[in-house]
Chains A and B, each alone.
Chain A
Amino acid sequence: MKFNWFHFSSPATFYGLAGRLTPWFFALALVSGVVALYWGFFETPERLGGSNPQKEYYRIIFVHVGSAWLSMWLYLVLAAWSALGLVFNTRLSYMMAVSVAPTGAIFTFLALVTGAFWGRPSWGTWWDWDPRLTSELILFFLYVGYLALHSAIDDARRADRASALLAIVGLVCVPIIYWSINCPDPNQCAALHQRSSMAEIEGNILFAMLALTFSFWMYSFGTSLLRVRSIIIEREAGTSWVDDQLELEARR
């Protein structure tokens, strides 16, 4: 069977599909979020480690790691939609890029602030110019810059192309964040973020962390689809399918 992906790249088709999918994503986000928080707060130990243990404040990592992962993933998604838009010149790709960016910016901000609230009790400081903190802050500025550039250009098509280019150039920041751990051995230097692997994390903590990350993913799908519906109907206003759609919504 031949499946035509470009069928869904028409905004009119995608509008309906997005509307049907959104409630499911929000339901999944809510359920997995509740499970993650229950597990993170009730099924995990109160302190970790030996002589200098992490106390209850380590529970911030569930929201911190989840939002930090999403901040990077959503940037990759933003750059991918931008690249698709530039290559295929599909309107919907650009609309999706613009829809993902605000949610990505929110998660980046959340990662930075929760990191500060974790840093205060564990490192003794709210902020330090550690490579990972600094590059994550630059990622936040990239999101803000993308959104600012897009809203600064009145013509939607030119705004799409210019900000898509910015998103792709900014992609250089993501691997820097990922590999920005300047200390391979904690005995040699005092880097704030240290190398870790999933195998070293206690099982219940890992489960809560992954469940909350999944919840954030579903939330991001939900919000970007909800936002793209507004963008589609706004940009396609005046076409016959939008008029039909408005009639349908008015009758409801």
Chain B
Amino acid sequence: MMEFLAQGGYAFYIWSCYGLAVVLLAGELVALRRRRRTILAQLGRLRRMHQAEVSHEG
């Protein structure tokens, strides 16, 4: 196991690359999910406000 992690002494270079790849790709996914949730919440709030207005007038 330690031998695998050491990668013949090139651990720093190899794991930096794969670590960065995972961080960037996972980070993008998290950001996308958060953006989607924010938009849905915002639009949902607007819709409820609109419905409240309509029922008020009626």
Contacts and interface: CB of A to CB of B under 8 A. Distances in A.
Interface size class of B (residues with CB under 8 A): 20 to 34
Interface string A117-137: 110110000000000000000
Interface residues of A, number: 38
Contacts of A110: 20-21, 24
- The dominant DSSP class at the A interface is helix
A185 interface: no
A109 B29 CA distance: 16
Contacts of A63: 17-18, 21
B24 A109 contact: yes
A56 B28 contact: no
A21 interface: no
Given A118-B13, A223-B29, A227-B32, A246 B21 contact: no
Nearest to A57: B10
Interface stretch (A78-86, A195-203, A230-238): A230-238
Given A55-B8, A233-B40, A246 B35 contact: no
Given A113-B17, A233-B43, A250-B44, A103 B10 contact: no
A237 B43 contact: yes
Nearest to A227: B32
Contacts of B16: 117
A170 interface: no
B13 A60 contact: yes
A227 B14 CA distance: 30
Interface of A: 37, 41, 46-47, 55-57, 59-60, 63-64, 67, 102-103, 106, 109-110, 113-114, 117-118, 120-121, 219, 223, 226-227, 229-230, 233-234, 237, 242-243, 246-247, 249-250
28 contacts: A56-B8, A56-B10, A57-B7, A59-B7, A60-B14, A63-B18, A64-B17, A102-B28, A103-B28, A106-B28, A114-B17, A114-B20, A114-B21, A117-B14, A117-B16, A117-B17, A118-B13, A118-B17, A223-B29, A223-B32, A226-B32, A227-B32, A233-B40, A233-B43, A234-B39, A243-B47, A249-B44, A250-B44
